[in-house]
């Protein structure tokens, strides 16, 4: 790819330094994705400008007019502190008629609305856990079709926000308490779904129309105590000391039943297209003890740091990190041209 001018949008607190020297592991962990992307693209010869954006759209327009980027690398996961507003930034970039990486606004809306996403894929006969939405301001009444155990999640948040061991409940009292926590502490409606005991699987998908399904990745819960429910809590995903203590890690999913392994690529493509995703996304599943595959949620514009699941899965099939980033950029440019 010829050298490009790349405007990288990110949260102001995540604008990375030019070097890792003098920075501790925990500090680096916060902005590792932004650093990996900016430093890798610069090393490949691209001119990259990092722009912190949080409360105003005008800095984006000013940077586009002054820098005239060939593409915007969109790393924003929220705007005004709201994850639901990420699609508005993508829409603004479309109004500016500048190519950008990642998912289109419609795909972001469909995927971020977890209940709607489940309804859409269920219509296409893709298995999902039984679920119900508990809106704020209403009394918690569990429908009979939802037997325990259940897991309580935020309806629209991501990155395991609000997910903890207390999220898995086995009584109506615990259910009401956890739903109230979501309403009051997280500030979102609650998604309550059937808890599927089994393996935690992640599958990356890359593409607009022609799709590449990456190898299945599995989150291993290591030596966590039997008294702990194996779920991807915020601590499991983001606490480095906790991960090291229990050997929590992710890697290629081994020993998948042949029928499941054969079905996953087609299932992923159907989900991706049903939710009108493009660019790149990670699809999350649970594989039950009976080898039934349950779709949990879609994550457009997922974490793509060099050592995270998506990039590692790409590397597993010969797509190195620099090539992965350039493919993502190319997909954004092709979409703007109505290609790819």
In the chain, domain spans: 5-100, 119-125+197-336, 130-194
HEC string of 251-270? Answer: EECCCCCHHHHHHHHHHHHH
Residue 339 has pLDDT above 80, yes or no: no
Closest among 182, 206, 195, 202 to 319, alpha carbons compared: 206
Q: What is the mean pLDDT of residues 11-37?
A: 93
pLDDT digits (tens, 9 = 90+) for 288-311: 999 999 999 999 999 999 999 999
How many whole angstroms separate alpha carbon 23 and alpha carbon 132?
44
Closest among 124, 177, 119, 126 to 150, alpha carbons compared: 177
Q: What's the CATH number of domain 5-100, 2.60.200, 1.10.3470, 3.40.50, 3.30.70? A: 3.40.50
Residue by residue, DSSP assigns 235-302 as: HHHH-HHHHHHHT-EEEEPPS--HHHHHHHHHHHHHHHHHTT--SEEEEEEEEETT--EEEEEEEES-
Per-residue DSSP letter, 310: H
For the chain, the average pLDDT equals: 94
Per-residue confidence (pLDDT) for residue 137, from 0 to 100? 86
Residue 41 has pLDDT above 60, yes or no: yes
27 CB-side CA count, 13 A: 9
Residue by residue, DSSP assigns 37-96 as: HHHHHHHTT-EEEEEE-SS-SHHHHHHHHHH--SEEEE--S-BTTBGGGHHHHHHHHHHT
Closest among 316, 77, 103, 107 to 202, alpha carbons compared: 316
How many whole angstroms separate alpha carbon 171 and alpha carbon 149?
8
Do 264 and 203 form a contact (C-beta atoms < 8 A)? yes
Closest among 41, 26, 32, 116 to 73, alpha carbons compared: 41
Residue 22 has pLDDT above 70, yes or no: yes
130-194 topology per CATH: Dna Ligase; domain 1 (3.30.1490)
Residue 160 has pLDDT above 80, yes or no: no
The CA radius of gyration of the chain, in Å to the nearest whole number, is 20
Is the domain spanning 119-125+197-336 CATH 3.40.50.300? The answer is no
Per-residue DSSP letter, 162: T
Burial of 240 (0-12, 13-18, 19+ CB in 10 A): exposed
Share of the chain above pLDDT 70, in %: 99
How many whole angstroms separate alpha carbon 142 and alpha carbon 96?
46
What are the phi and psi torsion angles at 137 (to 5°)?
85, 5
Do 302 and 280 form a contact (C-beta atoms < 8 A)? yes
Residue 159 has pLDDT above 60, yes or no: no
340 versus 282: the higher-pLDDT residue is 282
pLDDT digits (tens, 9 = 90+) for 47-97: 999 999 999 999 999 999 999 999 999 999 999 888 888 999 999 999 999
pLDDT digits (tens, 9 = 90+) for 101-158: 999 999 999 999 999 999 999 999 999 999 999 999 888 999 999 999 999 999 877 6
């Amino acid at each position: 790819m010829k050298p490009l001018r790349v405007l990288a949008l990110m949260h102001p607190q995540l604008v990375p330094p030019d070097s890792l020297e003098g920075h501790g592991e925990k500090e680096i962990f916060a902005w590792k994705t932004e650093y990996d992307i900016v430093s890798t693209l610069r090393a490949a010869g691209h001119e990259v400008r990092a722009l912190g954006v949080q409360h105003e759209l005008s800095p984006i327009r000013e940077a586009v007019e002054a820098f005239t980027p060939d593409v915007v690398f969109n790393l924003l996961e929220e705007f005004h502190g709201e994850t639901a507003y990420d699609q508005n930034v993508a829409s603004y970039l479309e109004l500016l008629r500048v190519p950008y990486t990642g998912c289109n606004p419609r795909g972001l809306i469909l995927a971020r609305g977890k209940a709607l996403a489940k309804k859409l894929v269920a219509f296409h006969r893709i298995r999902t856990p039984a679920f119900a939405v508990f809106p704020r301001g209403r009394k918690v009444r569990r429908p009979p079709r939802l037997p325990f155990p259940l897991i309580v999640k935020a309806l629209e948040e991501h990155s395991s926000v609000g997910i903890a061991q207390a999220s898995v409940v086995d009584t109506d009292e615990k259910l009401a308490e956890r739903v109230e926590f979501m309403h009051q502490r997280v500030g979102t409606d609650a998604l309550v779904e059937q808890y599927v005991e089994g393996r935690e699987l992640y599958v990356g998908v890359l593409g607009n129309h022609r799709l590449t399904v990456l190898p299945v990745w599995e989150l291993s819960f290591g030596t966590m105590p039997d008294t702990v429910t194996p779920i991807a809590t915020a601590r499991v995903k983001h606490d480095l000391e906790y991960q090291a203590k229990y050997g929590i890690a992710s890697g290629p999913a081994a020993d998948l039943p042949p029928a499941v392994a054969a079905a996953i690529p087609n299932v992923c493509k159907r989900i991706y297209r049903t939710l009108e995703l493009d660019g790149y996304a990670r699809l999350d599943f649970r594989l039950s003890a009976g080898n039934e595959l349950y779709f949990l949620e879609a994550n457009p514009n997922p974490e793509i740091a060099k050592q995270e699941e998506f990039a590692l899965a790409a590397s597993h099939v010969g797509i190195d990190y620099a090539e992965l980033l350039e493919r993502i950029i190319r997909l954004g440019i092709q979409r703007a041209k109505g290609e790819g």
